[in-house]
Amino acid sequence: MSAGDIRKILLVDDDAAVREALSQTLDLYDLEALTAGSFVAAKDQITPEFRGVILSDMRMPGRDGFHLLAYAQQVDAELPVVLLTGEGDIPMAVRAMSEGAFDFLEKPCATVTLKAVLERALRTRALVLENRQLKTQLERGDPAARMLYGTSPQAHELRARVRSVAPTDAEVLVSGPPGSGIPKVAEVVHLMSRRGQRAFVKRPCAGLTPDAFEALCQSAEGGSLFLDELSAMPEETQFAVLEQLEQGGAVRIIGGSSTDLAAPVASGKFNAELFYRLDVMRVRIPSLAERRDDIPVLFQHYVSQAAEQAGIDAPDISPDFLAGLMAQDWPGNARSLMSAAMRFVLGMPDEVTEAGDLGLGEQMAQVERSLLIAALGRQNGRASAAAQALKLPRKTFYDKLAKYGIRPEDYRR
C-alpha cells in the first residue's frame, strides 16, 4: 500500500462553490479530492476498496450527513467520516460523535484546523489498513508475515529476503543493529526452511566450548543451530565450527551478529575462512531509524502483547502519540520499543513529544533527518551515493549530516 492510496478525501457538499473552494484547499495540502454533490452521488464511491477519508456537509437535500455516516459505517465500520455544519448546533455535534463520526467541524472552518483533523484521520486510516493487511498475511500462515511486522519498503524487502534465503540449505548470516531482533529473524529462516518441523537450537557464542558446540549439533540434528554474536566465539570453537561446516552434516548453521565482523576478521580475532563460509547468504535487518513508518504498527503489536501478558485491556493510543514515537531515534531498536510498550500498558509511559506539540520547523527537521538516515541505510553508508539518491549536492549533504550529528559509518554493513 502506497502513501498515495490513503491521501484521498471524498468531499460531499451540495453547494458547488463550497466544493470548489474546499477542493482547492485540499489540493494545497497535497490531498486528492473526490467530489460529490449529494449522498446518492457519493454512495457509489463509498466501497470496501475506498482507502481514504470522507468529509461531508451535514445538511443536504434529501439524505443528510447522518445518512451518509450510517451508510459508510455499514460499508466499513472503521472508515473515518468528518462532518461539517454551518449552524454550530451543539446537540447535532454530540449526536454525530456518539454515532461514530471521526470529528465534527463548524463552517467556515479555519484551513489549519481542517488540515489537522484530516491529517489525523488519514493517519488513523493508514494504521487500520496496515493492521488489516498484517492480519490477512497472518491468516495465510506465512511465518515471515506472522513474526516480522511492518509495512515499510524495508520491511517488505526483509521478508522477501528471508523467503528467498530460507528454502536453501546454505549457511546464513543474520546481521543488524543491537536490539533489532536477530534471533527472531533467524528463527523465521528456520521455520520457512525444509527443516522447519525439526529442532531450532540457539546459543550465544560467548563462552561456547568445542565440546558444548558438538553437543548442540547433536541436539539440533536435522534442524538448525543458531549461533548468536559470532564475534564473541572463542578461537578454538571457531575451528570446531569450521570443521563441522567442511564435513557437512545434518545441521544447518545460522550465524548472528550485531557488530561488523570485518574488523575482527581483519585483526585476526575471527577466522576469515569461517566468516566467508557463514556469509554465504546474508540477511540484514534495518534499524528503526531506517524504517520509521513501521514504528506505529510495531508499537501497537507490542502494546497488545504486553496487555495480554499483564492480563489487562490494551489502552488507546492516539495518532499524535504514535507520531511522537516516530520522531524518536530508538537506538535500542525493537527491544527498546517493546520495553516502552510495556511501560505504556502499565501506566508509566515515557516522555514522548507528540507531533502536535512541535512547530513546523521542528517537524520538518525530523522528516529531513529521517530521510538522510534512510538514504544512508539503503546505500550501505555510502555518503556520495546517498547524496545522489536524494539529488543533493555533496557539500549540502555533508552539511546536513553535520547538522544532525549523523555518521555515515554507522550505516555500513
The pLDDT tens digits of the residues spanning 25-48 come to 898 888 888 999 988 889 889 998
Sheet holding 200-204, edge to edge: 200-204, 224-228, 252-257, 172-175, 281-284
- Give ∠ CA 177-180-183 in degrees, rounded to 5: 110
Can you read off the three cell numbers belonging to residue 133? Answer: 493487511
Q: Which CATH architecture has domain 3-135?
A: 3-Layer(aba) Sandwich (3.40)
Q: Which residue do the cell numbers 516502552 mark?
A: 340
The rounded distance, in Å, linking the Cα atoms of 84 and 55 is 7
Instruction: Report pLDDT for 360.
Output: 53
When comparing pLDDT for 242 and 318, which is higher?
Answer: 242
The rounded distance, in Å, linking the Cα atoms of 335 and 158 is 18
Can you read off the three cell numbers belonging to residue 14? Answer: 451540495
Task: State the CB neighbour count (10 A cutoff) for residue 21.
Answer: 13
Can you read off the three cell numbers belonging to residue 410? Answer: 554507522
Predicted confidence (pLDDT) per residue in 66-123, tens digit:
989 999 999 998 899 999 887 656 777 778 788 888 888 888 788 888 988 998 888 8
The rounded distance, in Å, linking the Cα atoms of 267 and 272 is 10
- 3-class SS of residue 149: coil
Residue ranges of the domains in the chain? 3-135, 143-286, 288-357, 359-413
Percentage of the chain modeled with pLDDT above 70:
88
For residues 206 and 284, the answer to whether their CB atoms sit within 8 Å is: no
What CATH code is assigned to 288-357?
1.10.8.60
pTM as predicted: 0.56
Predicted confidence (pLDDT) per residue in 250-292, tens digit:
899 999 999 989 889 999 999 999 999 998 899 999 999 888 8
Instruction: Report pLDDT for 225.
Output: 96
The rounded distance, in Å, linking the Cα atoms of 293 and 150 is 8
Predicted confidence (pLDDT) per residue in 322-376, tens digit:
878 888 888 889 888 988 888 888 777 665 544 444 455 665 666 677 678 777 8
- Same fold yes or no, 3-135 and 143-286: yes
What CATH code is assigned to 143-286?
3.40.50.300
Task: State the CB neighbour count (10 A cutoff) for residue 24.
Answer: 10
